[in-house]
Amino acid sequence: MKTMNKTDIKIIKADKSHIPQMAELITQNLGTCNLIKGTNNDVTARNIAELTDTIDYYQVAVDEKGTVVGLCGIGDVKEDNDYGLDLGKHRDVLYVVVSKDHQRQGIGTILLQSCLENIHDYPVVYEAWGEIKNGDVNSYKMLAKCAFKLFADMGTSFYCDHGYCPYCVNKDKNCHACFCKIYIHE
């Protein structure tokens, strides 16, 4: 268990009792963009199911009351990817999510660093996505602090071209406003 000096936040291994709070954090902070065609469109229920299957890969940040304020997970070894990139065997960052009230305090960075501590076998891949604002992903500072390097810029049409737009909060506007960048930690 790690304790952050700035706050009374502790980083601990996630367990099944954390799943409802984790799922709600993902739903509140990521919206519906992570839905897949033909799957359960109840976002929170889908997140609970996904977390139940992968809980062993996660760590959570909890406050002094035991409330989950952040989470991070790195998945099992994969050989394939959705980007058509030659990544070889790798692991994916499943999520890095911090509640809005606790963002910009270094919690996401500490969670990601903590998860990376025990991963030494294969590179770890992070899919950064979001609206284009200042030319970079919101998480670029966290990624730099955790020694991730840009591997591929998939541009602003990747999500539209792969059918995510109907599930986006903007719903079929074909705005090409979301970029996709792939970062790697070796």
The CATH number of whichever domain residue 123 belongs to comes to 3.40.630.30
Question: Residue 41: its pLDDT value, please?
Answer: 58
Q: How far apart are CA 45 and CA 24, in angstroms?
A: 9
In the chain, count H helices and then E strands.
5, 8
Question: Residue 46: its pLDDT value, please?
Answer: 83
Secondary structure class of 27 (helix, strand, coil):
helix
Pairwise pLDDT comparison (13 vs 167), residue with the higher score: 13
Question: Residue 172: its pLDDT value, please?
Answer: 52
The domain tally of the chain equals 1
Query: How many C-beta atoms surround the C-beta of residue 93 within 10 A?
Result: 24
This prediction has a pTM of 0.84
User: Taking residues 125-129, what's their average pLDDT?
Assistant: 88
Q: How far apart are CA 143 and CA 24, in angstroms?
A: 24
97: which strand partners? 71
The per-residue pLDDT for range 25-72, each reduced to its tens digit, is 988 877 555 545 445 457 778 888 889 999 999 999 999 999 999 999
Q: Give the tokens for residue 154.
A: 């998939």
Q: How far apart are CA 59 and CA 55, in angstroms?
A: 9
The one-letter amino acid at 57? Y
Residue 76 above 90 pLDDT?
Answer: yes
Residue 175 above 70 pLDDT?
Answer: no
Q: How far apart are CA 28 and CA 99, in angstroms?
A: 8
Contacts of 186 (CB under 8 A, 6+ apart): 123, 149
Query: How many C-beta atoms surround the C-beta of residue 116 within 10 A?
Result: 18
The band of 8, judged by pLDDT with boundaries at 50, 70 and 90, is: confident
Residue 171 above 70 pLDDT?
Answer: no
The per-residue pLDDT for range 78-119, each reduced to its tens digit, is 999 888 899 999 999 999 999 989 988 999 999 999 999 989
Question: Residue 120: its pLDDT value, please?
Answer: 92
Nearest to 130 by CA among 154, 161, 102, 98: 154
Contacts of 118 (CB under 8 A, 6+ apart): none
User: Taking residues 155-171, what's their average pLDDT?
Assistant: 69
The boundaries of the domain holding residue 173 are 2-185
